[in-house]
Amino acid sequence: MDSFDIAVVGGGLAGQIAALALARSGRKVLSLTPPAPKQDQRTTALMDQSIRFLERLGLWAEVRAHAAALSTMQILDGTSRLLRAPPVAFRSQEVGLDAFGYNFANASLLPVLEAALDREPNATRKPVVAESISILPERVELRLEGGEIASAAFVIGADGRRSMVREAAGIDVRNWFYPQTALVLNFRHSLPHRNVSTEFHTETGPFTQVPLPGNRSSLVWVLKPEEAEACRELPRDALSHKVEARMQSLLGAVEVEDGVQAWPLSGMMAKQFGKGRVALVGEAGHVFPPIGAQGLNLSLRDIIALQDILAPVSGGDIAVDAGDRFDRRRRVDVASRTASVDLLNRSLLSDFLPVQMMRAAGLHMLSALPPLRGLVMREGVEPGRGLRSIPEAIKEKLTRRRS
């Protein structure tokens, strides 16, 4: 029986990045990465903090060639309601960054990760599933597809929403559902996007265009489930016209590419993100609608925290309460991101006038008050960064007044 410091179950983006980060920090890691049943057609927008993490892992240079910078993010009210919010634009230069983040196809990062794991001396990658997991007082035992048994001092569940690791640890979840489906697709356009991402707020949810390299963009369009299904069944030309009309031809003529997908919107949060010898990262711990590019950014912050907790202190053993420490460390961030995505989505769906007034007023304040916009932008690229910058901003103001 092979034994490891850490077993990472799951070969999605969260699992492979976790395995690589922990192997790089000196732990002996088993990474289980069964082949995906179908190609991941999604794109992911990663914010500045996440990009810097990929840079530290030596992954970014290869992915950058397939990524588009997000330098301006604008929100336009596309509702026909009585109270409409003013347009708001956030420019990365306002907070001293070339870009808030970058958008790329998941399919361009996955092979880079697999190759990096295969080169990593501390990592053993096996393209098989864990068939059973036993969490024992002194170790974790995994039975792998093919009959092999492996043991580890700690297990990371990165095995997605129906996590077997979570079940083996006896961790319960809270599930919720929205009356919406996200239509997810990529498209070509005749005009350049100039690295601008545009989010139209509509009565059925956000319609978000995010730049890809060249004259291409990805789109997440939140609709009523029956509308999303009807759009998916449209001939490609008709769907292209519909997308162009919704965007008010902002990017000229639109040509939708193959691989249109529909994702029913739902949320899930584990009641604990870790305990004892177990931690849950990515969608094994938290799932929310693909609104505001949050999911993988949050998962990378899970991994950064785990690296801190599990990195060897002069070769020491992993503490038996490492999972509980991880749980305490991640609670506030995961809960607050989940709540903000939920609030944004529900505020769009609500026909209740006071809710519409609050949304319009919030966006109006964002458009009119540069310091508030700066705070929101810094929080967006790295949670805590905006709040940390407040004392510095006050100090700077006082110094300027004195001089």
Ligand X SMILES: Cc1cc2nc3c(=O)[nH]c(=O)nc-3n(C[C@H](O)[C@H](O)[C@H](O)COP(=O)(O)OP(=O)(O)OC[C@H]3O[C@@H](n4cnc5c(N)ncnc54)[C@H](O)[C@@H]3O)c2cc1C
Residues that bind ligand X (CB under 6 A): 9-15, 32, 34, 36, 42, 44-45, 129-130, 158-160, 164, 182, 184, 220, 263, 282-283, 290, 293-297, 299
Nearer CB in complex with ligand X: 37/315: 37
Shortest CB 264 distance to ligand X, Å: 10
Q: In this complex, which beta carbon is closest to ligand X, that of residue 157 or of residue 356?
A: 157
Which CA distances in Å does 101 have to 331, 345, 380? 24, 22, 10
CB 151 to ligand X: min, Å: 16
Compute the least distance from the CB of residue 396 to ligand X, in Å. 32
Residue 400 CB, shortest distance to ligand X, in Å, is 37
How far from the centroid of its chain's Cα atoms is residue 360's Cα? 26
* DSSP 8-state symbol, 298: H
User: What is the rounded CA–CA span in Å between residue 369 and residue 148?
Assistant: 60
Please identify, using beta-carbon distances, which residue of 157 and 360 lies nearer to ligand X: 157
CA-to-CA dists, residue 185 to 59, 94, 104, angstroms: 25, 30, 13
Q: How far is the CB of 390 from ligand X (least distance, A)?
A: 26
Residue type at 56 in one-letter notation: R
Q: How far is CA 220 from CA 48, 190, 192, 259, 264, in A?
A: 21, 19, 19, 13, 12
Distance of CA 374 to the CA centre of its chain: 22
Residue with smaller CB distance to ligand X, 262 or 355 = 262
CA 400, CA 396: separation in Å to the nearest integer?
6
Other beta carbons within 10 Å of 385: 16
Percentages helix, strand, coil for the chain (3-state, rounded to 5) are 40, 30, 30
- Give 202 or 297: the residue with its C-beta nearer to ligand X: 297
In 99-172 the beta strands, taken as DSSP E runs, fall at: 101-105, 123-126, 130-135, 140-144, 149-157
Closer residue to ligand X (CB): 1 or 313: 1
Which tokens is 262 given?
């529909």
Q: Which is nearer to ligand X, 34 or 86 (CB)?
A: 34
**Pairing relation of β-strands 254-256 and 173-189?**
antiparallel
- Residue 17 CB, nearest distance to ligand X (Å)? 8
Give the shortest CB-106-to-ligand X separation in angstroms.
6
